[in-house]
Amino acid sequence: MALLQDARDQVDRAFTGGSKGLDMENAFGGALSAFRRRYTRDLTDYDLAITGVPFDQAVTHRPGSRFGPRAVREASTLQVFDPPWGWDGFSPLEELAIADYGDAGFDYAQVSEFPGALRDHIRGILAQGAGCLSIGGDHYVSFPILQAHAEKYGPLALIQFDAHSDTWPDDDMDRIDHGTMFYKAVKSGIVDPERSIQVGIRTVNADPLGVETITARDVRELGTAEVAARIRARVGQHPAYLTFDIDGLDPAFAPGTGTPVWGGLTSGQAADILRDIAGINLVGGDVVEVAPQYDPSGGTAVAAAHVLMELICLWGWTRR
């Protein structure tokens, strides 16, 4: 009966809710926000901000991830009723003050201005003392976000879940390409390759630039516990940024993406690895490349919303 009463009383919590707590608003109704968190750009007394980056003009194949933030917000409404599974009772929605900061603004017709606009957007979050997790958008968006984080934390350890290395050579820093931004991140010194690691890779790139690579086949053969141990050993307690390209999952689990590649991770493997790296010094992260129109089931957005919750847990685990 109490749950029914909560469902009657809790409406449009994106505007009427507080900064903490589980939520009983009907998952199928109400104004959408990330995990029913309140929309605000005043992060006073907030621990963590979630922001969307609806940009997909750097893709090499299918566009559509500009609709990712909206789809992931909708899918996230399924996760607000209980603490997340597998986190030993840790309930980040109850213990952390989390805001939905809304989306980054930019002029879609002035693509060259986008990187600076996004850097400034993320700087505005970090300057208020809150952590930042982002929803893409194509994978290029990680580059300006990394730049803003590196200004605050110095060179970062990068943990990347992906089918592609995204370190193909590209010395033109003005090119906006979702396949070369981590080459630029390493070359410009904002990512420390000796502390960085990629998981789920299953495309050819002759030069990983010193970043450790764990292929999708390695995950199957080594097992998730060993993969997590290798991530923890590589990263240590260095400030880390985790980026999760949804095409790191096999298309059977995440068909709604621009460049799907067979032979990828299962959602269970990804969940186990993410939970087993609890304790890393995560300072930021993103989930990207959700293109919902290629997945009428909505399963890709659901998977991305679960990844986002795991990122919240990882960020909050050492800040409880």
- Give me the CATH number covering residue 298: 3.40.800.10
Peptide bond connecting 137 to the previous residue in cis, omega within 30 degrees of 0: yes
Per-residue pLDDT tens over the stretch 269-285: 999 999 999 999 999 99
Cα gap 40→50, rounded to integer Å: 10
What domain range includes position 275? 2-317
SS3 content of the chain, % helix, strand, coil (to 5): 40, 15, 45
Structural element, H or E, at residue 51: strand 48-53
d(CA 115, CA 228): 32
Stated pTM of the model: 0.97
Give alpha helix (H) positions in 181-297: 181-187, 216-222, 224-235, 267-276
The annotation status of 164 as a binding-site residue, yes or no, is yes
- Does the structure show a pLDDT above 50 at 183? yes
Q: Which residue has the tokens 């450790």?
A: 212
Is 162 marked within a binding site?
A: yes
Mean pLDDT over each residue of the chain, to the nearest integer: 96
CA angle in degrees (0–180, nearest 5) for 136-163-227: 105
The three-class DSSP label of residue 112 is helix
247 is in an annotated binding site: yes
Mean pLDDT of 218-247: 98
Task: Report whether pLDDT(1) > 50.
Answer: no
For 8-19, how does the pLDDT look when each residue is reduced to its tens digit (9 = 90+)? 888 999 999 989
Q: What is the per-residue pLDDT for 292? A: 98
Is 23 annotated in a binding site? The answer is no
pLDDT in tens, 88-129: 999 999 999 999 999 999 999 999 999 999 999 999 999 999
Average of pLDDT values for 62-86?
A: 97
* Tens of pLDDT, residues 129-157: 999 999 999 999 999 999 999 999 999 99
Number of domains in the chain: 1
Q: Nearest to residue 77, comparing CAs of 11, 149, 2?
A: 11
> pLDDT band at residue 64, thresholds of 50, 70 and 90?
very high
Residue 225, token pair as written in the block? 């516990």
